[in-house]
Amino acid sequence: MPIHNADIAAAFAEIGDLLEIQQANPFRIRAYRNAARVVGELGDEVRAMLEGGEDLTSLPGIGDDLAAKMREIVATGKCRALDKLRTELPPAITELLHVPGLGPKRVRLLWQELDVQTLEQLARAARDGRIRDLPGFGARTEAKILQAVEARLSKARRVKLATAAPYAASLVAWLAGARGVTQVEAAGSYRRCRETVGDLDIVVTATAGSDVMARFTGYDEVSEVLSQGPTRASVLLQSGLQVDLRVVAAAAYGAALCYFTGSKAHNIALRRIAQEAGLKLNEYGVFRGTARIAGDSEESVYRALGLPWIAPELREDRGEIAAARAGRLPQLVELADLRGDLHAHTKATDGHHTLEEMALAAKALGLGYLAITEHSRRLAMAHGLDARRLAEQCDEIDRLNARLEGIVLLKGIEVDILEDGSLDLPDDALARLDLVVGAVHSRFELPRAKQTERILRAMDNRHFTLLAHPTGRVIESRAPYDVDMLRIVRQAKNNGCFLELNAHPERLDLLDSHCLMAKEEGVLVAIDSDAHSREDFANLRYGIGQARRGWLAAADVLNTRPLAQLRRLLATRR
């Protein structure tokens, strides 16, 4: 079975979780967590790197031991170190770490004191009122835990978009090689760039006698064939991801792609339009009586309904049909529109490459500028910069810019917003910078009014430029903190500040609804990678997907501006 980077990253992340619960050496834990992140964000598959004879130890943070484990996982699909750890701890205990508010120390305490090993046992303990008496918990925390666990148990299994991406790409390429296949595309929530994906839907057209169905069910990564027929099949991959295949005639390809892309609400709205026009719309086409009048392309389907084609990311029945009718659909931003990146880290703090290495990697992707925004001193675990080290880095950036060609480094900082709304570094240290990226990294649990006021006060600082990952959420791991986003957006407009859409697939923060809010209020959004390594710039594509879901055009995005125009915007604020 081919091993994807997501499989290696998952193994390393689980090792880190298990070691944390065991209270192992923090440096060892951090090594596995860093390795999981590095591998998960690689643009190239590790197995392809090994086949090409590349040295895995050239990757940031990957030494001989981790490289050996990566080779083992690729070769065997297993990791002996992980298997050993699994025998030492309850098998489902790492699931508890995904409950908001439960870190390794609390999970260990729940296990040792209450014998809680599964989500179901955790829910039962919370309902029985047994958690509140443990040190560091209390009734309020117990209630929050119960709410989070019940929500997690009730929803279907979903995977992050970036996790699903390599599986989708491999399958599409595999099916494209089948005899007689003429068109193949992944549809569903994956095509709509939703931040999580429940399963994969693939639509194919093929000529008579094609072996595409046998090729699909015989794919190396299939663990179980759930159903199979002449035109449709469902399989379960070894990763647990379900994939549904639909083979259609070329005359119905557009209708099927539209139908299986969804969303359900968008499709219902389209069918209603068809009915009002005396037509019938289904996955096979648009029909007047028994005659098919459209369906070979999505454009033909929309045209038959009196609409222009609507981009998949907009298909959520959130006003896109009315906008299409009125000719007000935005020309959505594309990856090629980005001129630079305004949030990146280097080895000076918790990044993995030097200033020059990060600059050259950004240049290789066609970017013309890159803001270096290390963490500030409050984030000690990331070796955050104090005023002296920040000044030294500014000098280093000036020297490097003097000899760089084709890209310019901007001087910045990702400064912590403290609980009282002050910034973690003094004004005189911030004054020399091109931009100041403010971020909340602590006290996520503050009440809505206090959290909002904290951010508003920070944005009043005349050096404040950009609010990083504005809701603080980590997908499926940490809920957004409670904040009045409309007030934040309007404060940004009044103060001439900007908001970030953090493209890291674990964050994708701003939410799509907040992107639309910013657009409507006239506040520019920066789509940033938050890169900690050269490979992380690839995450910008996920930020673009989220921005498109939020109706953003290139003009709504700060870093689509050329450098001279960007500098003028930054100078106006500062």
Which segment of 28-32, 94-98, 173-177, 179-183 scores lowest on mean pLDDT?
94-98
pLDDT greater than 70 at residue 382 = no
For residue range 322-333, list pLDDT tens digits in order.
Answer: 999 999 999 999
Quote the CA–CA distance of 102 and 477 in Å, as a whole number: 10
The rounded distance, in Å, linking the Cα atoms of 509 and 470 is 6
Distances in Å between the Cα of 249 and the Cα atoms of 190, 235, 245, 256, 285 are 22, 22, 14, 9, 10
Burial of 570 (0-12, 13-18, 19+ CB in 10 A): buried
Q: Please tell me the predicted confidence (pLDDT) of residue 12.
A: 93
- The predicted-structure confidence for 438-477, as pLDDT tens digits, reads as follows 999 999 988 899 999 999 999 999 999 999 999 999 887 7
Share of the chain above pLDDT 90, in %: 69
- Residue 557 burial (10 A CB sphere; 0-12, 13-18, 19+): buried
Distance set, CA 82 to CA 66, 159, 231, 451, 550 (Å): 12, 21, 40, 40, 40
Mean per-residue pLDDT over the chain, rounded: 92
Q: What is the mean pLDDT of residues 372-390?
A: 88
pLDDT at position 249, please?
93
Strands 222-228 and 159-160: unpaired
For 223, other C-beta atoms within 10 Å of its C-beta total 11
User: Which of the two residues, 122 and 574, has the higher pLDDT score?
Assistant: 122
- Residue of 77, 106, 70, 93 whose CA lies nearest to 14: 93
How many Å apart are CA 483 and CA 470, to the nearest integer? Answer: 9
d(CA 165, CA 9): 14
DSSP code, position 205: E
Contact 15, 85 (CB under 8 A): yes
H/E run at residue 159: strand 159-160
Cis amide leading into 263 (omega within 30): yes
What are the Cα distances from residue 184, in Å, to 85, 92, 169, 245, 281? 41, 38, 11, 10, 22
Residue 64: predicted pLDDT: 93
232-237 and 196-197 beta bridge pairing: unpaired
Confidence check: pLDDT of 241 > 80: yes
Q: Is the pLDDT of residue 567 over 90?
A: yes
Question: Is the pLDDT score of 574 beyond 80?
Answer: no
Query: Domain boundaries in the chain?
Result: 5-154, 160-325, 335-573
Strands 200-206 and 181-186: antiparallel
Q: What is the pLDDT of residue 91?
A: 67
CA-based max dimension of the chain: 76
The three-state secondary structure class of 89 is coil
Q: How far apart are CA 407 and CA 388, in angstroms?
A: 26
DSSP string, 283-321: TTEEEETTEEEE-SSHHHHHHHTT-----GGG-SSSSHH
pLDDT at 1 exceeding the cut of 70 = no
| Angle (nearest 5°) at CA 97 between 28 and 86 | 60
The phi, psi pair for 139, rounded to 5°, reads: -65, -40
CATH 3.10.129.10 fits domain 160-325: no
Query: Is 60 exceeded by the pLDDT of residue 129?
Result: yes
Please give the average per-residue pLDDT across 397-407, as a whole number: 96
**Lowest mean pLDDT across 135-139, 295-299, 423-427:** 135-139
* DSSP run (H or E) holding 48: helix 46-51
In CATH, what number does 5-154 get? 1.10.150.110
Q: CB-side exposure of 498: number of CA atoms within 13 Å?
A: 26
> Residue 370: is its pLDDT beyond 60?
yes
Compute the average pLDDT of residues 251-265: 95
Architecture of domain 335-573: Alpha-Beta Barrel (3.20)
